[in-house]
Amino acid sequence: MADEVKLYAAAPSPYVFRAKLALSIKGVKFEYINEDLGNKSAELLKYNPVHKKVPVLVHNGNAISESLVIVEYIDEVWKGVPILPQDPYEKAIARFWAKFIDDKCIPTAFKAFGSNGDEQVVTEAREQLQILENELKVKGTKFFGGDNINLVDIAGSVIAYWVGIFQDATGLELITKEKFPKITVWAEDFVNLEVVNQALPPREDLVAFFKKMFGKA
Partner 1 sequence: MSEMGEIKLLGAAASPFVNRVQFVLNLKSIKYEFMEEDFDNKSELLLTSNPVFKRVPVLIHSNKPPVCESLIIIDYLEETHPDVHKLLPSDPADRAVIRFWAYYIDNEFFPLYGRLRKTPDKEGKEALKKQIIERSQVLEKTFVKFSNGKPYFGGDDVGYLDVVLGCFLGWTKFVGNYNNFKILDEVRQWRNLKLF
Per-residue b or e along 62-87, where b marks 16 or more CB atoms closer than 10 Å to that residue's CB = ebbbbbbebbbbbbebbeeeebbbee
| CB nearer to partner 1: pick between 2 and 50 | 50
For 106-109, which contacts have Cβ atoms below 8 Å and span 24 or more sequence positions? 106/158, 109/159, 109/163, 109/166, 109/174
Please check whether residue 51 is in contact with residue 37, taking contact to mean a CB–CB distance below 8 angstroms. Answer: no
Binding window for partner 1 (CB under 8 A); candidates: 64-72, 146-154, 183-191, 200-208:
64-72
Provide the 10 A C-beta neighbour count for residue 213: 15
Binding window for partner 1 (CB under 8 A); candidates: 7-15, 84-92, 148-156, 188-196:
84-92
Binding window for partner 1 (CB under 8 A); candidates: 25-33, 73-81, 137-145, 185-193:
73-81
Verify binding: residue 91, partner 1, rule CB under 8 A. Answer: yes
Verify binding: residue 186, partner 1, rule CB under 8 A. Answer: no
Please check whether residue 100 is in contact with residue 110, taking contact to mean a CB–CB distance below 8 angstroms. Answer: no
Please state the closest distance from residue 134 (CB atom) to partner 1, in A.
10
Helix (H), strand (E) at residue 58: strand 56-59
Verify binding: residue 65, partner 1, rule CB under 8 A. Answer: yes
Verify binding: residue 124, partner 1, rule CB under 8 A. Answer: no
Verify binding: residue 108, partner 1, rule CB under 8 A. Answer: no
Binding window for partner 1 (CB under 8 A); candidates: 2-10, 61-69, 107-115, 140-148:
61-69
Please check whether residue 56 is in contact with residue 65, taking contact to mean a CB–CB distance below 8 angstroms. Answer: yes
- Nearest Cα to Cα of residue 156 among 198, 128, 178: 128
Verify binding: residue 138, partner 1, rule CB under 8 A. Answer: no
Cross-strand pairs, 6: 31, 58
| CB nearer to partner 1: pick between 93 and 191 | 93
Which residues are at the interface with partner 1 (CB under 8 A)? 50, 59, 62, 64-66, 69-70, 72-73, 76-77, 88-89, 91-93, 95-96, 99-100, 104, 131
